[in-house]
């Protein structure tokens, strides 16, 4: 139906959706009514059903799409320009600020609980959101590769999927606890792992050309539990599964990996 609307009709429909989103954020999905939406948007009942013939469920699905779009819009322009490590850290700060401002109430999750996650329309909204988000992260990782900051051998899709899973996990814990500690740690650790891949890639290139000396520099980062972790020498499964180039086999140790402690 949206394609058949005039520009004025599209503007009216968007105004209803934006007003409904405000009402739902204030009152909650379970308590908001169509009358509340009509009062907020100044529309008649006939207008409401003209744009949303299926009633409240159709309106809720439209608001869910609107909220999903906001998730990505709120990360722009940082999410669209991840071509340096500084840019990744700026994006990390935007994500943390967004979810801290949102608090322990997620409008999108509330809508899906009301609509039903197995609803085909709701599932399509989630799938499309995750696809766009991961595609943006993949584009950022490829930009790092093109700028020589990551090896071309890095599995871009896997790295982007892991970063997105880290964000979603941190947000999920934040919604349960009201604290952003895990979200911050997940983002920081994800960026550390990407940088470690870049350092190991440089060392592997030198190794292949016969110019390799010692393994990558021992730049340190701090884990969520307070332990110092060398980003360039993380080798064992305990520190992210990146194998140490000098170790015959990955094995967990207390604070470092086999011979890289030397």
The residues facing 220 across adjacent strands are 230
Instruction: Return the DSSP state at 231.
Output: T
User: Of residues 203 and 82, which shows the higher confidence score?
Assistant: 82
Domain at 63-213: CATH code = 1.10.357
User: Is residue 54 packed enough to be buried (19+ CB in 10 Å), middle (13-18) or exposed (0-12)?
Assistant: exposed
Neighbouring residues of 166: CB distance < 8 A, sequence distance ≥ 6: 186, 187, 189, 190
Q: What pLDDT sits at residue 211?
A: 52
Give the start-end residues of each E strand in 30-150: none
For residue 156, CA distances in Å to 1, 130, 150 come to 38, 16, 10
pLDDT tens, position by position, 86-122: 999 999 999 999 999 988 888 888 787 777 666 788 8
Q: Where are the beta strands (DSSP E) in the chain?
A: 220-222, 228-230
1-53, CATH topology level: Arc Repressor Mutant, subunit A (1.10.10)
| pLDDT tens profile 38-64 | 999 999 999 999 999 988 889 999 999
68-77, 97-106, 114-123, 242-251: which range is least confident on average?
Answer: 242-251
For the chain, give every residue range classified as CATH 1.10.10. 1-53
pLDDT at 187 over 80: yes
Q: Residue 206 above 50 pLDDT?
A: no
DSSP β-ladder status, 228-230 and 220-222: antiparallel
212, pLDDT greater than 50: no
Q: Across residues 190-197, what is the average pLDDT?
A: 94
pLDDT (mean) for 238-254: 39
Residue range(s) in the chain whose domain bears CATH number 1.10.357 = 63-213
Q: Residues in the chain, how many? A: 262
């Amino acid at each position: 139906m949206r394609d058949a609307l005039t520009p004025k009709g599209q503007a009216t429909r968007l105004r209803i959706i934006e007003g409904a989103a405000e009402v739902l954020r204030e009152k909650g999905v379970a308590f908001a009514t169509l009358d509340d939406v009509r009062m907020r948007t100044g529309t008649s009942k006939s207008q409401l059903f003209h744009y949303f013939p299926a009633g409240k469920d159709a309106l809720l699905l439209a608001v869910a799409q609107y909220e999903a779009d906001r998730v990505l819009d709120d990360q722009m322009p940082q999410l669209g320009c991840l071509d340096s490590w500084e840019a990744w850290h700026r994006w990390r700060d935007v994500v943390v600020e967004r979810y801290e401002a949102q608090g322990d109430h997620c409008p999108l999750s509330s809508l899906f609980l009301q609509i039903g996650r197995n609803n085909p329309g709701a599932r399509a909204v989630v799938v499309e959101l995750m696809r766009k988000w991961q595609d943006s992260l993949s584009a950022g990782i490829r930009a790092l590769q093109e700028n020589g900051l990551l090896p071309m051998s890095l599995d871009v899709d896997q790295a982007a999927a892991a970063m997105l899973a880290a964000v979603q996990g941190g947000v999920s814990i934040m919604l349960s606890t009201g604290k952003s500690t895990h979200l911050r740690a997940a983002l920081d650790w994800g960026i550390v792992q990407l940088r470690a891949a870049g350092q190991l890639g440089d060392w592997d290139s030198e190794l292949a050309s016969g110019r390799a000396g010692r393994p990558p520099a021992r730049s340190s980062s701090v884990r969520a539990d307070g332990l110092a972790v060398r980003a360039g020498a993380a080798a064992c499964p305990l520190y992210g599964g990146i194998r140490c180039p000098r170790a015959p086999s990955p094995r967990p140790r207390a604070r470092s990996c086999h011979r890289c402690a030397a």
